[in-house]
Structure 1
Amino acid sequence: AENNEKAENNTITISGGKAYDVYAAVTGGGDAVGNTVQMSGGEVAYLGGAATDYGDRKDGSAINNKVIMSGGKAQEVAGGEVFEAGIAQGNSVKMTGGEAQNVYGGGTYSSSAKENYVEISGKAIVTGSGDNGYEEDGEKVNNKGVYGAISGASSGESFGSLENNSVKISGEAQVSNAYGAYSFGGADVIGNSVEISGNATVSGDVYGGSSATGSVSGNIVKIGGNATVSGNVYGGHSITGSVTDNTIELSGNANVDNANLFGYDKKTSTVSFSRTLSQKAASSGNTLTIKGWSGSVKQVKDFEKIKFGEIDLDNLPSNGTVLTITNLNNNDLENTFIDAQGVKFKSGTEIKAGMALNFIASGNDQELYINDDNIEFGNFTAGVAQEGEGKLELQDGKLIYTSTEVHASGQTHLVAENRAVAAAFVNQGSELIADALDTLSRTDGYGVKTFAAVYGNHSKYDVNSDLKINGWSSIVGVGSEKQLAQGDFSWGVFYENGSGNYRTANSFNNEFFRGDGSLVYNGGGITASYAKKSGSYAEASLRAGMLKSEMDNALKDINGAGYGYKSETAYYGAHLGIGKILTLNESTSVDLYGKFFHTYNKGDNFDVAGDKFEFDSITSDRLRLGTRYTVNKNNKWSSYYGIAWEYEFNGDADMKAMNKAVPTQSMQGSSYMAEIGLNYQPNTASPWSFDLSMRGYAGEREGFSGNVQAIYNF
């Protein structure tokens, strides 16, 4: 397209043959947008999604053009190229196979390139040799390879910038050199990245960003997986511009045994088509980050900071050192700040006080030297379960980290709290059993009876951190009431079910997050009561079942990922009650009672993100003393009002996280209850009876509940 015409959404497919230049679109003054070249075979010299250099007009933009290459060969591959006034943005090259010498997502001469990217994966090869017209110390530099973006303006020009371009190399790809962005001249190079992972191999140099005279800042090189890098690795490079806040990050099982790592490039350089530039770049904030990696490297220097972020104790090399520098000069790190504040150990390893670990050691006869004022240490975390404090100091030529204090992570307290509340929720089921017996005693008639009740509640429990739970419990059963010489005897068998949910708030590494919990129990049991004609009575029940508790997003790990857990335990319960009903007149009575509830919840253990959690068993022993006042006993509508005091003697939930005790969560203490209820029996001949009640709670347990019961007498 020429004369400012736009070239858009054109496609070329190459599966074989030979050609020189192949571009999906070329414009003269117009924009090239969304054009694509796909290559699976054949051989070409130059392969591009789009270029804007046709004729006399060279000011069009190249936006979102693509090259997709799965096979074949090319000397140079470009997603999109611009020259004078246009911008190269969002262009890409994706190679899953084939071979090339020089690859860049976006190319410019004197304008900007932003958000272009290159992905090299599979078994693709980019091993071109030769230079792109650049010299250092008077010699041509072999800098052909992979670029997120490249700018060709000379060092005397400073048009445009290279921002947020990226290179990703993965699979079994082989690459010579890799650059997040590269400017021959004065373009600023900002926020670009190179990420090398999988089993990829980079045999040459790697730069987060490079500019001859522009500023270079915020670029990053990530080397992880099982990738191998054997050349020089620079966070940033500029001859006269500033080089600030660039990062090299090592993770996984990356092999950098034969690599040299530099925060920035200090070399005096010469641009081939310009003057010699002898002024060295100012630098600050350039960082090497260790993130779950350990191993050796030939050289580490020119970093303002080395940050130990994440340590994998299970994957340390045989010498037990996180970072071994095999070609150390003793003053390489003299002015480097070592940051071990907030070290993060991976999950699954128990940390003990006094554990010593080599963070940095020399692999030659040079002794490591670091200024004591440049060493910072403090708190650490380990997985989701542990945290503590440590210190970092030079000892015998090594930088050694020692844990001084270790305890369970504060976020694990919530798990113990949830456990206590789960046990309390099961305890509520015993109230429903006792209520069913009370309702049976208020109905007329003997023989076989069926009963059912639904109990809804909203409660807050005063454990170490108040937790609110909304739940429903139900009971269905069959029983019988028989008249004896001295009174009435009732018995029944029942099935019980309960389900509840709640929300939690937790924090980890200064991040606050919400979790969601759910509880379900299923069980059954037997119950019996004996009421004398004098008004005295006794009652008892036995119950057993399974309690399931589940939490989503309960805990965070060192990388910020959320984890939940599931627990399933058996429970057993019993209750005994005695009381005396005092008849005031034909329609009014007062019930004075005492009831004792015992519940036992078995322990459990489970893993969260590789960390082991152990629940101890929970025993609950509650005594309730109360009175109930009933009126209109002989009417089909009768009502009752009651108050009670309850005391929990035990109710302690103990837990360990990676063998570290978590503070006991206790429900021990007093609660107070007030109730109002209504009983309906159409007439003495009716087999049906219904009961409705509401209760309010204060003290250790706060909240309210409602209960609906129905009884059918055969």
Structure 2
Amino acid sequence: MFRQRKRVLAAWIGLALGTSLVFTAGTGKAATVTIKSGADIKNYMVYKDDVYYVKGTNNVLNVRLGDMGSYYFFTLAACPESGGSGHTVNVYSGGGKYIDIMAGTISNNKVVMTDGTVYNVYGGLQKGSSTVSNNSVTISGGTVNGQIYGGYSGYGGTGGAINNTVTISGGTISNMSIYGGNGQGLANNNTVTVTGGNFSGNSGILWGGYCSYSSGTATNSEATGNVIKVSGFSGTMTQVIGGTATTNKDTALASKNQVILGSGTYKGSVEGGSTSGSSGTASIADSNSVQINGGTHQERIYGGYATLSSEGTATASNNVVEVNAGELGGFQIYGGYASGGTNAARGNQVIINGGTMNSTASIITGGFANNGTAENNKVVLNGGTVAGSIYAGDAEYSGTERNNSIDIYAKSALDLSKATLYGTKWRYSDVSSINSTLNVYTKDITVKDVKYFSNLNYYLPTNVRNGDTIITVNSTMSTDLGSGKVSVYVPGGTSLGYGDKVNLLTNPRRIWWDGNVGEATLTEGVSIDYPIGIQLENGDTSLVATIGGTFDSDLDGAGGNENTTVQLKEQTKSLVETAAAGMAALNSSADFVTSKGLAAAQVAAGTSAGFNPFFAAGGSNMRYKTGSHVDSDGFGLALGLAKEIKGARHTLLTGPFAEYGGSTYNSYLDDGTHAKGNTHFFGGGWFLQNELKNGFFYDGSLRFGRLTSDYHGEGAMAANYDSRSNYYGLHVGAGNRWQVGKKDCVSLYGKYFYTHQAGDDVTLSTGEKYNFKAINSSRTRLGIRYTHKTSTDTEIYGGLAWDYEFSAKGRASYRGLSTPATSMKGSSGMAELGVKFVPSEKDPLTMDISLQGWTGKQRGLAANATLLWKF
């Protein structure tokens, strides 16, 4: 028997080497052959070294063998060696226990099995430097007793395996290993999908992609982007690995491989991506993932697994294990695992959303480094039942643990009553543990114990009440918190008040804590820092936070329990900068409508009787000083209808208009606090201007509309909100024009502007409900302009103006406490330069283009343009 199997292997080696065959028929033509018996094999196929080839190219081989018995050791192939692509093998009834099936040698070959019995199945197989790609094996029935390969480039060659697939929906898979792709040098983007079938016997390993070091020219080994999806099957499946890479020369890389498992029994380990290397190599498992959606698991689960036999570097980074359901009896889950040489586990995660892990011997570790470096790893606990020990990061006996964390959210039912949470398990060893953190975002959690965290951060939920308990320890031993720093945060709108107590952690057996009483502060959303006392109470069985300072706890703004020592944080001024940016946009539009808008209306009205349309557009880049400052890139549009009414001693201009505009802004406080957002407004109104024969003129306008704004804060003000408010305004102005010679004119003018921006109640993304007060802007402007005609249809002008804002103060309040105010009060200077092309009968186009420069309270540049075509 052994000799016969060696002969089969020799036959495959001969095939892979490209043995030359001579065909008597069908060469160069597609052939469809159905095999029903041994006689059909002889009639329709060419035999060479235990391999039977269908005559011709682009073949379809239909296999309907009778029971050939255990004495038949040969391979049926749809490809002659002169054409190893585009072949199909359909396997139906019959077959033999030791018959292999192969579709092709290079690419785009298919094996479709609905019945029958075979040994090995290959979508594509070859030796050499060619890549085996886009081959597929689909099994919905029958029995496979050996291996299944979507694509296989083996026997010492250097070719890779890319984009090959294996799909199993039925049949019996016995004593097998399944490979989406098996290559030398690389195995990328291969897929194995299992939706059914019976896995029996001593089944082997399920690989999405498998790549090993080649004895040829390849020195690196890479398995990237392979996927395994299992939704259900019967029987037992053993080891499941998304992508494996091994090397003994340079680098083994397994990256971005995925394993997604559903119902079924898994008795072997599950690995998203795994790598191994020998002395002096690099072993890297990066960004691989495992998702458990069900099933019974009896072994370890790894997101990424990187090992070395001796010297070199092993790194497991950014790998993820996510458990949503299932029975996990395998005792150990690792987001990332690194061992051998100089090793590190960085940025790995284990996320538990559901499932059951009942054994008290169980271990969950975000990132494990065997006497190496474990840093920035995380375990997130959202739901399910978890027992045993939970470590964010583990550096074994003598490594370094840094910035690892455990986060408890409890988004669904979460049972940790048999689980111990560790900042480090090596407090009294040579391990250097730095900045380990427990983050708690819920209450009423019971655990077996909490040990050795550098930081304990409590983010209290919105439903927390006086006297609530966050974590209860049910251990028979006391709890050792070491000297962990305790911080407490609450969302905006909390119901907690002065003197209220929250039991952060309780243990009837006693708590040991070396932290300093009263060091912590309680931060409410992004708004208030309260003094908070943290100390051991009740005979050192409770770690209690007591809120100090007072505020309007009933949120009615009427007072009660006020204490001036409690104030909104200085950074809350950033929230009001959005209102300042909105007012700046509205004021800019008022300036634009009453200058360029009126100028365009004046030209339009003279074209004909009745109302005539006009349009003006402008843009600006400005900085507004508000006590801090706001940088704004804005735009404005004005359009309307203008009618001119001529009298004996005056000319009246009037009509309706619409305005639209907005800005993109960035606000900055003096301490560097940064926020950004957008404002938009849309409104309309009515204007008039009356000019007397002696050059004196006066004008006015009314406007109203709707302003929308948004805010996106950063750093200490990491909150968002949207705001909507109405606005209205007016302006009045007067001036005089003097003709200075035939081509020159001087104008003096004064204007007054009033704009009211209504307040709004907004809720921050952090929960606080703020009341934004109305903003009232009251401004005056005095200016002079000089105009010179260069020709009958062109004039240039320049001017200076002084602008003074009397108010425009922005304020908001929360819990009856006011934010620091913004103010645009102060002087600004403006210089303008423009050119105007006046229409004639031959040239009906009017253009007015100008540039304004501002300094003082508002600084920057504004460009404006009006266009008018006379018909």
Q: TM-score range by the shorter chain?
A: 0.7 to 0.9
1:16-95 equivalence runs, <5 A: 16-17=171-172, 19-24=174-179, 33=187, 37-39=192-194, 40-44=196-200, 45-49=202-206, 63=223, 67-72=228-233, 73-74=235-236, 76-79=238-241, 89-90=254-255, 93-95=259-261
**Secondary structure, in 3 states, of the residue corresponding to 2:480?**
coil
Indicate whether 1:174 and 2:324 are aligned.
no
Q: How far does the alpha carbon of each residue in 1:88-114 deviate from its partner, in whole angstroms, 9 at most, with x for none?
A: 845764312211133232487988864
Distance 2:514 2:642 in 1: 80
2:439 paired residue among 279, 290, 307: 290
Q: TM-score, normalised by structure 2?
A: 0.64
Give distance in 1, aligned partners of 2:432 and 2:786: 83
Distance 1:84 1:580 in 2: 89
Greater alpha carbon shift after TM alignment, 667-676 vs 296-305: 296-305
Structure 2 residue 292 is the aligned partner of structure 1 residue 121: yes
In terms of Rg, which structure is larger? Answer: 2
What CA distance in whole angstroms lies between the structure 1 residues aligned with 2:435 and 2:862? 61
Aligned 8 A contact 1:420 1:653 in 2 = yes
1:470 maps to which of 602, 622, 634: 634
Name the CA shift for 1:379/1:471 in 2 (closer, same or farther; >3 Å): farther
**Is structure 2 residue 558 aligned with structure 1 residue 417?**
no
- The reply to whether residue 662 of structure 1 matches residue 662 of structure 2 is no
- Secondary structure (helix, strand or coil) at the match of 1:413 reads helix
**Aligned to 1:96, which of 262, 284, 287?**
262
**CA-atom RMSD, angstroms?**
4.9
- Measured after TM superposition, the shift of residue 370 of structure 1 is 1.0
Task: Identify the range of structure 1 (216-225 vs 567-576) with the bigger mean alpha-carbon deviation.
Answer: 216-225
- Choose from 824, 830, 839 the match for 1:673: 830
Structure 1: give runs of 5+ residues left out of the alignment.
54-58, 129-143, 268-278
Q: Assess if the C-alpha contact under 8 Å between 2:424 and 2:436 holds in 1.
A: no
CA distance in 2, matches of 1:476, 1:532: 23
Which residue number in structure 2 is paired with residue 299 of structure 1? 448
Map 1:218-237; keep pairs closer than 5 Å: 218=375, 220=377, 222-235=379-392
Q: Quick one: distance in 2 between partners of 1:162 and 1:104?
A: 19
1:206 is aligned to 2:363? yes
Query: Once the 2 structures are TM-superposed, how far is the Cα of residue 490 of structure 1 from its aligned partner?
Result: 0.9
Q: Aligned-pair distance for 1:115?
A: 1.8
Q: Call closer, same or farther: CA 1:289–1:406 in 2, change over 3 Å.
A: farther
User: Alignment partner of 1:208: what SS?
Assistant: strand
2:781 aligned with 1:618, yes or no?
Answer: no
| Closer, same or farther: CA 591–222 of 1 in aligned 2, 3 Å | same
2:469 aligns with: 321
Structure 1: distance between partners of 2:859 and 2:787: 25
Task: Judge conservation of contact 1:451–1:709 (CA < 8 Å) in 2.
Answer: no
How far apart, CA to CA, are the structure 2 residues paired with 1:38 and 1:440? 70
2:316 maps to: 164
Matches within 5 A, 1:260-275: 260-265=420-425
Q: What does 1:320-359 align with in structure 2 at a 5 Å threshold?
A: 320-327=468-475, 329-330=477-478, 332-333=480-481, 336-340=482-486, 344-346=489-491, 348-350=492-494, 354=498, 356=500, 358=502
SS in 2 for 1:164: strand
Contact 2:802 2:829 in 1 (8 A): yes
Distance change >3 Å, CA 302–CA 242, structure 1 → 2? farther
Aligned partners of 2:408 and 2:440 also within 8 Å: yes
> How far 1:386 moved relative to its partner?
5.1
SS of corresponding position for 2:822 = strand
- The equivalent position to 2:588 in structure 1, one of 428, 448, 462, is 428
Deviation, structure 1 residue 453: 4.6
Q: Distance in 1 between matches of 2:863 and 2:312?
A: 71
SS in 2 for 1:314: coil
Instruction: Assess if the C-alpha contact under 8 Å between 1:212 and 1:240 holds in 2.
Output: no
Q: Give % identity.
A: 20
Give 3-state SS (helix, strand or coil) of 2:579's partner. helix
Counterpart position of 2:724: 568
Structure 2 CA distance for aligned equivalents of residues 632 and 280 of structure 1: 89
Cα gap change, 1:513/1:16 in structure 2, threshold over 3 Å: closer, same or farther?
Answer: farther
Give the whole-Å Cα distance in 1 for the aligned partners of 2:506 and 2:647. Answer: 91
- 1:594 aligned partner: 750
For residues 694 and 824 of structure 2, the distance between their equivalents in structure 1, rounded to whole angstroms, comes to: 37
1:651 aligns with 2:815: no
Letter in 2 for 1:502: T
Any idea what SS the aligned residue of 1:429 has?
helix
Aligned with residue 452 of structure 1, among 604, 607, 614: 614
Residues 645, 651 of structure 2: 8 Å contact kept = yes
Q: Answer whether contact 2:239 2:268 (CA < 8 A) is retained.
A: yes
What pairs with 1:187-198 in structure 2 (closer than 5 Å)? 190-191=344-345, 193=348, 195-198=350-353
Alpha-carbon distance in structure 2 between the residues aligned to 1:691 and 1:32: 66
Structure 1 residue 300: Cα displacement: 2.8
Whether the 8 Å CA contact 2:686–2:702 is kept in 1: the answer is yes
Instruction: Go from structure 1 to structure 2 and tell me whether the alpha carbon gap of 1:480 and 1:172 turns closer, same or farther (over 3 Å shift).
Output: same
- Alignment check: 8 A CA contact 2:574 2:673 kept: no
Q: AA paired with 2:353?
A: G
1:371-520 alignment to 2 at 5 Å?
Answer: 371-372=514-515, 377-378=519-520, 381-385=523-527, 390=532, 392-396=534-538, 397=540, 398-401=542-545, 402=547, 407-408=567-568, 412-435=572-595, 436-437=597-598, 448=610, 450=612, 452-458=614-620, 459-463=622-626, 464-484=628-648, 487-504=649-666, 515=676, 517-520=677-680
Q: Distance between the aligned counterparts of 2:244 and 2:591, measured in 1? A: 77
Q: Please give the secondary structure, in 1, of the residue aligned with 2:512.
A: coil
Query: Residue by residue, what CA displacement relative to the aligned partner does 1:517-573 show, whole Å, maximum 9, x if unpaired?
Result: 44433322222344444544433222222233345xx22488x9x775543322211
CA pair 650-107 structure 1, distance change in 2 beyond 3 A: closer
Instruction: Say if 1:694 and 1:283 are closer, same or farther in 2 by CA, change over 3 A.
Output: closer
Give 3-state SS (helix, strand or coil) of 1:425's partner: helix
What secondary structure is seen at the aligned counterpart in 1 of 2:294?
coil
| Higher RCO by CA contacts (8 Å cutoff, separation 6 or greater) | 1
CA distance in 2, matches of 1:506, 1:371: 40
Q: Is the 8 A contact 1:71 1:99 kept in 2?
A: no
Q: Could you say if the C-alpha distance between residues 263 and 158 of structure 1 is closer, same or farther in structure 2, counting changes exceeding 3 Å?
A: farther
Report how many aligned residue pairs link the two structures.
664
Distance change in 2, residues 1:92/1:650 (3 Å): closer
What is the letter of the counterpart of residue 671 of structure 1? S
- The change in CA–CA distance for 1:709 and 1:645 in structure 2 (over 3 A counts) is same
Q: Distance in 2 between matches of 1:530 and 1:299?
A: 84
2:683 paired with 1:523: yes
Task: Find the residue that maps to 2:354 and give its secondary structure.
Answer: coil
* CA distance 1:438–1:556, change in 2 (3 Å): closer
Query: Displacement, 1:197?
Result: 2.4
How far residue 596 of structure 1 moved from its aligned partner, in angstroms, is 1.5
Q: What does the per-residue CA deviation read over 1:354-406, in whole Å, with 9 as the maximum and x for residues that have no partner? A: 47553633242x23231145x79456654455556655333443333346576
> Does structure 2 conserve the Cα–Cα contact (< 8 Å) formed by 1:446 and 1:713?
no
Are the aligned partners of 1:488 and 1:531 in contact in 2 as well (CA < 8 Å)?
yes
Please give the alpha-carbon distance, in whole angstroms, between the structure 1 residues aligned to 2:495 and 2:231. Answer: 48
**Aligned partners of 1:535 and 1:581 also within 8 Å:** yes
What letter is aligned with 1:94? I
